Amino acid sequence: MRKKIVAGNWKMNKNLQEGIALATELNEALAADKPNCDVVICTPFIHLAKVSEVIDHSVIGLGAENCADKEKGAYTGEVSAEMVKSTGAEYVILGHSERREYYKETPEILKEKVLLALANGLKVIFCIGESLAEREANKQNEVVKAELEGSVFNLSAEDFGKIVIAYEPIWAIGTGKTATSEQAEEIHSYIRSVIADKYGKEVAENTSILYGGSCKASNAPELFAKPDIDGGLIGGASLKCADFKGIIDAWK
Ligand code: PEP
């Protein structure tokens, strides 16, 4: 049975003290009221080691928002997958549309990052999704298939099993516009069929596919009720404990 997951992506928000406070609050809230799904928080690099100490890892997984495409060495300012893992983190988000767009991360760069993350024992939350122009041209299926083929379909079936897919239509990220649950289900089901064509039905059935894009407590229950939506990757609504917990509770 594939996992239900609610993962937060803090992006470049919260200083260290604010981040520790948020993680501590969430840890307490989930200790008092156990979640019905896996919960992950992905934080800026500088928060990882401290946040790792304040959370119960059996309830909250910890992840980075990125890692380097090089193993180690003279790459000033970069943070390697090994360094991420050494903080206690278990996950890393790769392929987020903000990294693809603002930092020009290509499918080849992402392929390297994925390989290094897996080699260092991290699970990857791999983001895919189309722009508004691509959706309007009805190219969303083509785009997500190419993104999978470009960076993760080189993996063995065993390694692909360590990948969580996050479908995030770029036009819905941080815009307040959410894909309807029907639109999201349609493409999630397509993504699962593409994975089945590549790795077989069993692998596809075991792959968690999260929806991301203006997901909040009010729309999460309808989205999560769809058969191919296995949870959410949450940006803005992961920055307040009550908002994030509201989405986690959509699984109850
Ligand atoms: C994201 O960027 O991963 C995201 C889903 O953001 P938001 O929830 O703010 O749209």
- Assign residue 148 a region: left if phi > 0, alpha if psi is -120 to 50, beta otherwise? alpha
Give residue 241's domain range. Answer: 5-251
The domain that holds 18 is classified in CATH as 3.20.20.70
* Marked catalytic residue, from 96, 134, 147, 188: 96
pLDDT tens, residue by residue, 134-186? 999 999 999 999 999 999 999 999 999 999 999 999 999 988 888 899 999 99
pLDDT (0 to 100) of residue 25: 98
Residue of 234, 240, 244 best suited for mutating to test ligand 1, as the one with most atoms within 8 Å of CB: 234
Q: Answer positive or negative: Cα dihedral of 65, 71, 72, 76.
A: negative
Q: What is the pTM of this model?
A: 0.98
**pLDDT value, residue 177:** 84
The catalytically annotated residue of 65, 130, 168, 185 is: 168
Among 100, 165, 215, 238, say which to mutate for ligand 1: greatest number of ligand atoms within 8 Å of CB: 215
**In the prediction, which pLDDT does 1 show?**
85
Reply yes or no on whether 108 is catalytic.
no
Total domains in the chain come to 1
Position 176 scores a pLDDT of 86
Q: Which residue blocks in the chain are alpha helix, DSSP H?
A: 16-32, 45-54, 81-86, 97-102, 107-119, 132-136, 140-151, 157-160, 181-199, 201-206, 220-224, 241-248
pLDDT at residue 80 is higher than 90: yes
User: Please, are residues 144 and 186 in contact by the beta-carbon 8 Å criterion?
Assistant: no
Closest ligand 1 atom to residue 9 Cα is 3
* CA 233 to ligand 1 center in whole angstroms: 7
Calculate how far, in angstroms, residue 173's C-alpha sits from the geometric centre of ligand 1.
5
> What is the average pLDDT across 208-225?
97
Q: Identify whether 186 is a catalytic site residue.
A: no
